[in-house]
């Protein structure tokens, strides 16, 4: 174990994923979300396959008896990516990233419903506070409460961002189940393959022929996504999940930087304060889970 290396790999993965999102946002006004999902998933295989071959894990990744579980995971992942890509086309990057942090909060609720996990008052309080931060972020979009009409783009963007967070949280639950019966290389490979095939189903709904510049950005998004996935997988080889998880929130910083430099997005006070509340709630959940894991480990050793 090398925690510092794991942390650096995690930070690098957040940069890759934010750069990927920036590529998608740059073409979002002309490229349908389903088409963007296809490029993101298909070209992610370009860096992933050589790594699996180098590690002699390709046959392990291809061999599975859990096709239905992989397809379910792929379907939920495509729904998450599709709604996320719509959201970033309609919202400034800082706002979209802030709403994306609802995923860990929703995951707590889904863990209770789907996995029967026991959640005590501390984590429920963190979830409630986090959702308060979400309300603060989306409040300006709900101009229905202020001017008598709903600002359609901002409202739809907020709904899609929260929908993406829900599907992402559901994907986490599915992966937590899948990882008990399947190996990591198989999960990574089948997700990219299945997502590509599922994205093709959106072809009749208005795909367009990209310009050379748009095609370059779409392919780059896939490559960056694949590299980010490799870095993310690799970081868990060097550090515990509880050590790595807090660095997810660096994406907000990169979102602020990329959004301002590339798109001129200036975050509002509501977004900054709401994002701080959501991040604090998410970190509280992460730290609480880390504390409980240590307590359970100590108890097991005593037994």
In sequence order, what are the residues at sequence separation of 6 or more whose Cβ sits closer than 8 angstroms to the Cβ of residue 271? 92, 94, 95, 98, 137
The verdict on residue 212 lying in a domain is yes
Condensed to tens digits (0 to 9), the pLDDT of residues 46-61 reads: 999 998 898 888 888 8
- Name the stretches of the chain with pLDDT < 50: 143-145, 148-150, 299
- pLDDT value for 299: 46
Q: Is position 142 within any domain?
A: no
299 falls within a domain = no
Does 178 map to a domain? yes
Quick one: tokens of 172?
């986490």
Tokens of 221: 């998004």
> What's the pLDDT at 151?
66
In a domain, 53, yes or no: yes
Q: Is residue 137 part of a domain?
A: no
**In this predicted model, what pLDDT tens digit does every residue of 142-186 receive, in sequence order?**
544 455 444 667 778 888 988 998 998 888 788 777 877 888 788
- Burial class of residue 59, CB neighbours in 10 A (0-12, 13-18, 19+): exposed
Q: Which residues are within 8 A (CB) of 152 and not within 5 positions of it... i.e. 6 or more apart?
A: none
Query: What residues make up the domain containing 211?
Result: 3-120+152-266
Domain membership flag for residue 138:
no
Q: Which two tokens stand for residue 217?
A: 């950005």
Residue 280 lies in a domain: no
Q: What is the structure's pLDDT at 163? A: 92
- Predicted TM-score of the model (pTM): 0.82
- Domain count within the chain: 1
């Amino acid at each position: 174990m090398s925690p510092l290396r794991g942390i650096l790999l995690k930070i690098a993965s957040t940069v890759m994923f934010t750069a990927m999102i920036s590529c998608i946002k740059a073409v979002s006004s002309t490229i349908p979300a389903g088409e963007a999902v296809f490029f993101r998933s298909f070209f992610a295989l370009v860096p992933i396959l050589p790594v699996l071959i180098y590690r002699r894990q390709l046959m392990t990744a291809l061999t599975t008896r859990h096709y239905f579980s992989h397809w379910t995971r792929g379907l939920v992942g495509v729904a998450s990516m599709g709604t996320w890509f719509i959201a970033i086309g309609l919202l400034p990057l800082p706002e979209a990233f802030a709403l994306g942090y609802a995923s860990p909060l929703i995951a707590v609720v889904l863990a209770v419903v789907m996995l029967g996990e026991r959640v005590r008052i501390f984590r429920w309080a963190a979830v409630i506070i986090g959702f308060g931060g979400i309300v603060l972020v989306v409040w300006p979009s709900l101009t229905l409460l202020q001017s008598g009409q709903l600002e359609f783009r901002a409202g739809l963007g907020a709904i899609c961002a929260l929908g993406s967070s829900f599907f992402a949280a559901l994907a986490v639950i599915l992966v937590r189940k899948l990882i008990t019966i399947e190996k990591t290389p198989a999960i990574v490979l089948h997700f990219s393959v299945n997502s590509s095939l599922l994205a093709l189903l959106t072809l009749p709904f208005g795909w367009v022929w990209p310009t050379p510049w748009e095609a370059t950005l779409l392919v780059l998004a896939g490559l960056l996504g694949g590299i980010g996935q490799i870095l993310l997988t690799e970081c868990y080889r060097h550090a515990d999940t509880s050590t790595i998880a807090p660095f997810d929130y660096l994406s907000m910083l990169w979102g602020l930087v990329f959004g301002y430099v590339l798109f001129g997005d200036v975050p509002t006070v509501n977004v900054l304060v709401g994002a701080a509340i959501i991040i604090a709630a998410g970190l509280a959940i992460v730290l609480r889970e880390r504390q409980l894991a240590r307590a359970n480990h100590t108890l097991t050793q005593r037994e």
